[in-house]
Amino acid sequence: MKFSKIELKELVISILVISLAIAYTNSWSVTLFMMVPALIIVAPAFAFHELGHKFAAQKFGYKAEYRMWKNGLIAALAMAVVTSWFGSKFLFIAPGAVYFGGRHGTRSDVGKIGFAGPLVNLGLIGVFGLISVFSVSPLIASLASTAVYVNAFLAVFNLIPFGPLDGRKILEWNRTYWGIALAIALAALFWGNLLV
């Protein structure tokens, strides 16, 4: 997997901003304390999702790089701050995406590349689910349970068949895979909610 310096920088910035938006409270000391678990949970969920797209695109012979969306990251931080003032934080995070090109994309390729991101999240649900169930440490079990929920939410959200989301690309390529993935992600979201 090849990375450019710009891509790595923008991936790191995206992870830090997303984690800050999630960790943000009206107290900076609490925010800084919450950055650690936010990074532990967000970094794999978000970064591996995007890297799944990148790896799949490169496997099919495309040039692929992650690019952050400055406006999406700024809006996420602003939303975290403003909604926290009103006592109930609400977030919508659109940090960026993997762009690929270099040749004409077939429907099959585009669908498979789109499928790679949610598939990574489903795999992480399995890993963190096992950790949450079998860990003897309440702290690790709690972090893993939250990671199950976050990965399930990310998978469900990205499987929505609308606009630029992965779900539309997957659905246009293979309805069966899309339906199975969505069913697993919804079940995992319900399970993650119970764990948390």
How far is residue 70's CA from residue 97's CA, in Å, rounded to a whole number?
11
How far is residue 104's CA from residue 61's CA, in Å, rounded to a whole number?
10
Catalytic residue among 7, 50, 65, 172: 50
Residue with tokens 């997303």: 18
Any residues with CB less than 8 A from the CB of 71 and at least 6 apart, and which?
Answer: none
**Annotation says 65 is catalytic:** no
Any residues with CB less than 8 A from the CB of 84 and at least 6 apart, and which?
Answer: 24, 25, 26
Residue 165 burial (CB count, 10 A): 17
Four-residue CA torsion sign, 152, 154, 160, 161: negative
According to DSSP H, which parts of 24-95 are helical? 28-42, 48-59, 70-85
Residues annotated as catalytic are 50
